């Protein structure tokens, strides 16, 4: 079994489990899958990757709220929303100078989830957060399974008396 098949197996099992958890806890399953995606797509793996993906996704939630609430301050000036969106998108990219905020797609994933969730950050944030944890579990359990299979298939090289 290669790494891709191991990842597919653990991701499939944990995706089904995530669907049940999301419904049971009243979370947005699609937002959780965005959290999983952010972890999988983050170039850094392990706990450091989880921290980076989490920080960027959650910063995206904040940036989206800035746009939503900033635009609402002057609803009669539609152009203000467009200008604000451009400025915030610029800042979403510039923040990547900081290591913990260096995964720009994660920032946009968090912002998009917030827009899709109509600004309901109290529902979007836990959905993304649990999804990030599921993404971590999916990827790392798949990598563990692949390594375990390789170890089991390796010939026994111990010297026997």
For residue 61, tell me if it sits in a domain.
yes
Asked whether residue 157 is domain-assigned, the answer is: no
| Residue partners of 116: CB distance under 8 A and separation at least 6 | 30, 31
Domain hosting 81: range is 3-23+30-149
With respect to residue 96, please indicate whether it lies within any of the assigned structural domains.
Answer: yes
In a domain, 161, yes or no: no
Residue 51's alpha-carbon distances to 11, 13, 63, in angstroms, are 20, 24, 18
- Average pLDDT over every residue of 125-142: 97
* Number of domains within the chain: 1
User: CB 96: neighbour CB atoms within 10 A?
Assistant: 15
Q: What is the pTM of this model?
A: 0.90
- Do 101 and 93 touch, CB atoms closer than 8 A? no
What is the average pLDDT across 73-98? Answer: 93
Weakest mean pLDDT among 12-16, 49-53, 104-108, 157-161 = 157-161
Residue 92 within any structural domain of the chain: yes
Whether 79 is covered by a domain: the verdict is: yes
Question: Lowest-confidence range among 2-6, 9-13, 73-77, 101-105?
Answer: 73-77
């Amino acid at each position: 079994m290669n790494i891709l098949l191991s990842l597919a197996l653990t991701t499939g099992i944990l995706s089904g489990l995530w669907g049940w958890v999301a419904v049971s806890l009243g979370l947005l399953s699609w937002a959780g899958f965005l959290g999983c995606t952010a972890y999988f797509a983050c170039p850094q793996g392990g706990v450091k990757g989880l921290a980076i993906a989490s920080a960027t996704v959650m910063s995206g939630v904040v940036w989206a709220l800035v746009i939503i609430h900033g635009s609402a301050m002057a609803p009669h000036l539609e152009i203000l929303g467009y200008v604000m969106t451009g400025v915030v998108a610029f800042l979403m990219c510039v923040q990547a100078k900081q290591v913990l905020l260096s995964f720009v797609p994660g920032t946009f994933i968090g912002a998009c989830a917030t827009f899709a969730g109509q600004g309901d950050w109290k529902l979007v944030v836990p959905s993304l957060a649990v999804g990030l944890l599921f993404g971590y579990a999916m990827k790392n359990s798949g990598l563990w399974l692949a390594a375990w299979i390789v170890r089991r298939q390796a010939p026994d090289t111990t010297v026997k008396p």
